[in-house]
């Protein structure tokens, strides 16, 4: 029999029999699970952070975690590393289940080298990523690492390259979710940016390419870590973060909820749930929620709540580009992606950030076989020098490209106004929507009646004895001729004008019909979307 020497973690002698070897194995594993020291664990908790294993326990079903390469240790020498060779090398990898479905996970252990990535550390991550891709199961990374391990030089940098390459290989094949639970700089921030969803925790997690000290040295600007790359900054300003929460427990619980809405991979459909919400439930309240006057704002979120199962949905990028809503919800138990203009913010116009937000969401839904339902109430693209110089044409084209390229079932619903290029871009029938519906309050036109009349009848208005009376007359005539609720339906551009109270039933039945949709795409390596 033998025991481990506490300081080095090395066996003190040779085991004398099989039982001795098993006992030694259990001691080594216990040391690997315990981590470097109780003091290191206390320091982690003092920062308001859980340990890597505590996080994995919250994420996965109880008792389901199977660890891979628990006994891995680095081989580096120099700079004091040869005297410190902890088991796991600062990252815990393996798989388990979430609600009974397989999920792969890796979690940085900040207690070991600050979670910094070295060669062995990276190799473990590469292996678990390869396993996730091969098994066709989601990958969740619990990130709490300080970037590349400086003592290992270029080997650490090459390790990041291998992660990035696998992130890209897995993109659109398996769901990839990054959970930021500590300060992540440099390469540690790039991998999450390549994944499908990024979660952050306020105060304790940050993402930036260069930290505050470097920023000050180069630009002279002084800023805190949270001010530079905290959860609120990335959730509201940069758009890097999709979800931000106040604590790790809530954050990880929401990761589990998101996984329940996603398929295992791109060859499967999202999991269907039994719904107790009647398909034919009328929603008469919608008649009061949405004013007929196109200039009056309302909250599109309340419309979505009224239509989806039990009023429940998960909004993605809730605090960024708030003039458009992107959400995952269920209709009769089937997962759908919802894109909707938000008239409460900037009147629901499309701008650069809204176009980018919606385009990425459409691509995600299409990659993972999630039908898309689009609610339109859009006055157009946001005008302005900043928008034009910022590339609104290029960014708006991203949304157009995403919709045109999507092969999942697509249904669009026009609630009120749908003007100009924004009407076309927001999944109109002309770009491939399978079904297009409208409420009796719809107004579909090149532009609003006021603007159209001023252009078309400019001379008549100028020459009239009472220009204002003439303008009002022309506006009324334009609305009557080209903007009445049935104009688009009469020309086959809207499949039906429906009672708003019956919207839920119409959408559910339409999705059921489209369930077996198959679309053939031309043979090509890949498209070249606008960037």
Give catalytic residue positions: 186-187, 421-422
Backbone angles phi, psi at 383, to 5 degrees: -80, 160
Parallel/antiparallel/unpaired status of strands 243-245 and 313-316: unpaired
300 and 322 in contact (C-beta within 8 Å)? Answer: no
Dump the DSSP string for 141-170. Answer: EEE---SB-GGGTHHHHHHHHHHHHHHHHH
| Separation between Cα atoms, residue 108 and residue 90, nearest integer Å | 6
Cα 405 to chain center, whole Å? 19
Torsion sign, CA atoms 197, 202, 203, 209: positive
Token pair in block for residue 113: 């080298």
DSSP 117: B
Name the DSSP letter for residue 372: E
Taking the C-alpha atoms of residue 135 and residue 264, their distance in angstroms, rounded to an integer, is: 9
The SS3 of residue 104 is: strand
Q: Rounded to whole angstroms, how far apart are CA atoms 360 and 355?
A: 9
Residues 383 and 479: their CA atoms lie apart, in Å, by 23
For the chain, the distance separating the N- and C-terminal CA atoms, rounded to the nearest angstrom, is 63
Mapped onto helix, strand or coil, the DSSP state of residue 316 is strand
| Helix H or strand E segment including 67 | strand 66-68
Q: From 115, 117, 94, select the one nearest 104 (Cα to Cα).
A: 94
The three-point CA angle 483-485-486 to 5° equals 100
Whose structure tokens read 């062995």?
120
- By the 10 Å C-beta count (0-12 exposed, 13-18 middle, 19+ buried), 528 is classed as exposed
User: Cα–Cα distance between 490 and 500 in angstroms, integer?
Assistant: 19
Q: Measured between alpha carbons, how far is 442 from 414 in angstroms, rounded to an integer? A: 6
Residue 47, exposed/middle/buried by CB under 10 A (0-12, 13-18, 19+)? exposed
Residues linked to residue 443 through DSSP beta bridges, in sequence order: 417
175, 320, 388, 358 alpha-carbon torsion, rounded to 10° = 40
* 80: phi then psi, degrees, rounded to nearest 5: 85, 0
Burial class (CB within 10 angstroms; exposed 0-12, middle 13-18, buried 19+) of 391: middle
Find, among 177, 181, 315, 176, the residue nearest to 248 by Cα.
181
């Amino acid at each position: 029999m033998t025991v481990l020497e506490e300081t080095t973690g090395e066996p003190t002698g040779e085991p004398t029999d099989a039982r001795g070897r098993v006992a030694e194995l259990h001691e080594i594993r216990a040391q690997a699970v315990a981590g470097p020291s109780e003091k290191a664990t206390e320091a982690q908790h003092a920062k308001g952070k859980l340990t890597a294993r505590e996080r994995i326990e919250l994420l996965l079903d109880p008792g389901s975690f199977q660890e891979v390469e628990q006994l891995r240790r680095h081989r580096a020498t120099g700079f004091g590393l040869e005297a410190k060779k902890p088991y796991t090398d600062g990252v815990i990898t393996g798989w388990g289940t979430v609600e009974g479905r397989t999920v792969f996970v890796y979690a940085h252990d900040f207690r070991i080298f600050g979670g910094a990535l070295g060669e062995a550390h990276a190799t473990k991550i590469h292996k678990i990523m390869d396993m996730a891709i091969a098994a066709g199961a989601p990958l969740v990374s619990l990130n709490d690492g300080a970037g590349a391990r400086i003592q290992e030089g270029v080997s650490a940098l090459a390790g990041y390259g291998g992660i990035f390459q696998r992130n890209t290989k897995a993109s659109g094949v398996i769901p990839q979710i990054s959970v930021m639970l500590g300060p992540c700089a440099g390469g540690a921030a790039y991998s999450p940016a390549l994944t499908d969803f990024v979660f952050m925790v306020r105060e304790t997690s940050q993402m930036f390419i260069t930290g505050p000290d470097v920023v000050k040295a180069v630009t002279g600007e002084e800023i805190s870590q949270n001010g530079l790359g905290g959860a609120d900054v990335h959730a509201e300003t940069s758009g890097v973060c999709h979800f931000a929460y106040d604590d790790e427990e809530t954050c990880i619980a929401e990761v589990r909820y998101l996984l329940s809405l996603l398929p295992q991979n791109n060859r499967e459909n999202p999991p269907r749930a039994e719904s107790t919400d009647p398909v034919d439930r009328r929603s008469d309240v919608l008649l009061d929620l949405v004013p007929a006057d196109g200039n009056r704002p309302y909250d599109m979120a309340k419309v979505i709540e009224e239509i989806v199962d039990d009023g429940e949905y998960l909004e993605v990028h809730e605090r960024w580009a708030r003039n458009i809503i992107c959400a995952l919800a269920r209709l009769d138990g089937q997962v759908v992606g919802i894109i909707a203009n938000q008239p409460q913010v900037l009147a629901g116009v499309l701008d650069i950030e809204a176009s980018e937000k919606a385009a990425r969401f459409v691509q995600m839904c299409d990659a993972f076989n999630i039908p898309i339902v689009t609610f339109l109430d859009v006055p157009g693209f946001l005008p302005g020098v900043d928008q034009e110089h910022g590339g609104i044409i290029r960014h708006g084209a991203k949304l157009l490209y995403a919709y045109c390229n999507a092969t999942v079932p697509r249904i669009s619903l026009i609630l009120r106004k749908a003007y100009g290029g924004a009407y076309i871009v927001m999944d109109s029938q002309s770009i491939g929507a399978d079904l297009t519906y409208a409420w009796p309050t719809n107004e579909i036109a090149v532009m609003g009646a006021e603007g159209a009349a001023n252009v078309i009848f400019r001379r008549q208005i100028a020459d009239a004895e009472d220009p204002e009376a003439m303008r009002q007359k022309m506006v009324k005539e334009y609305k009557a001729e080209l903007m009445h609720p049935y104009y688009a339906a009469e020309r086959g551009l809207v499949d039906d004008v429906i009672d708003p109270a019956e919207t839920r039933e119409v959408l559910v039945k339409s999705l059921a019909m489209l369930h077996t949709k198959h679309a053939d795409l031309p043979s090509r390596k890949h498209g070249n979307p606008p960037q």
